[in-house]
Structure 1
Amino acid sequence: MSTAPLPDLVKTVIVPARPDRAFAVFVEEVGAWWPLAGFSVGGASSSVAFERDPDGRATHLVETLADRGTAVWGAVTRWDPPHALAFTWHPGERADAATRVEVTFTPDGDATAVVLTHSGWEARADGEGARTRYDTGWELVLKPFAEHAGSSR
């Protein structure tokens, strides 16, 4: 495990939709825009969705594999629609090695500034390497999100 805290990784994307729509696309349509071929446990034949409790609050981000098995990517720790969402993050890893992801949705004219902050790298044995990989990875994930949110208005 890393002992020295590593800086948070922060990524911002401007989405051509209002915050309520951007939040809904992020949560409700994650399976339509998430690039599973390159960023998943099971590959392109999988699906991903936020599981919900009976009140509609997201509880977990879960990938369903082709064999119908599941891989929990994380547990929702903050649910504040349409302003923010936070969750632990450990796709393909043990839950005790989870990092943290927070996504905020702030009005920016007719658009929304979506800021993703990934922190808690010290929980991982490969914290510095993981942070480096996610620096590019989150950009490749957020791009299709922004495109999908803009085209599904």
Structure 2
Amino acid sequence: MPAREPTTLAAPPVRQATTVRADVATTFDVFVREIGVWWPVEPFSAGGDRVRDVTLERRLGGTVVETWHDGTTRVWGELVAWDPPHGFTMSWLLTPEPTEVELRFRSLAAGLTRVSVEHRGWERMTEAQLGGACALPEGYRGGSYVRGWAVIFGRLVDHVESGLS
């Protein structure tokens, strides 16, 4: 019997969502303008405690960049779709191979917004890359990106809602 080629297991997108007690425009604006304040750079950045700021250029083709205390910069990605205040899509360069992050902001009611993410493109990676450590242990295969987006969204919710009190 001939040897079979190994089969790569499917690598579906990571999907996560949260609800923010604020209107869509406010939630979107805080996400993109204040990302350097609320984003948990430890552990979700290249520089960790060296990161001074994170900025998002609010335009199609704009970049998302972390800047370290010494002026070093690391590009996280480029905006490939820009639809304020409903969402944006960006390349994501902090993975072993480039992936894509789509964020959507949808009104559920007056003063209530659903923020959702679809982080996709995992099929570009090898099994070793999918199982390798990232900001959190166990990599994509171990659910670290699902847990990571939950932490990130938790920080967003806390920051937006604390600013409205």
Same fold (TM over 0.5): yes
Q: Aligned pairs, how many?
A: 146
Q: Greater Rg, structure 1 or structure 2?
A: 2
Shift, 1:36, TM fit: 1.0
Q: What secondary structure, in the 3-state scheme, does the structure 2 residue paired with 1:87 have?
A: strand
Which moved further from structure 2: 116-125 or 21-30?
A: 116-125
Deviations 1:75-100 (A, max 9, x none): 11110000011101112x56xx1111
CA distance in 1, matches of 2:90, 2:8: 22
Note if 1:71 corresponds to 2:74: yes
After the TM superposition, which segments of 4 or more aligned residues of structure 1 sit over 4 Å from their partners?
Answer: 2-5
Bigger relative contact order (CA 8 A; separation at least 6): 1
Structure 2, gaps ≥5 residues long: 1-6, 133-138
Shift, 1:108, TM fit: 1.1
CA distance in 2, matches of 1:5, 1:66: 40
| Percent of aligned pairs sharing the same letter | 34
- After TM superposition, the structure 1 = structure 2 runs for residues 4-153 of structure 1, keeping only pairs within 5 Å, are 5-46=10-51, 47-52=53-58, 59-91=62-94, 93=95, 97-109=97-109, 110-125=111-126, 126-127=129-130, 130-131=139-140, 132-153=143-164
Q: CA RMSD in A?
A: 1.9
Q: What secondary structure, in the 3-state scheme, does the structure 2 residue paired with 1:114 have?
A: strand
In structure 2, relative to structure 1, the CA distance for the partners of 1:24 and 1:44 (3 Å cut) is same
Structure 1, gaps ≥5 residues long: none
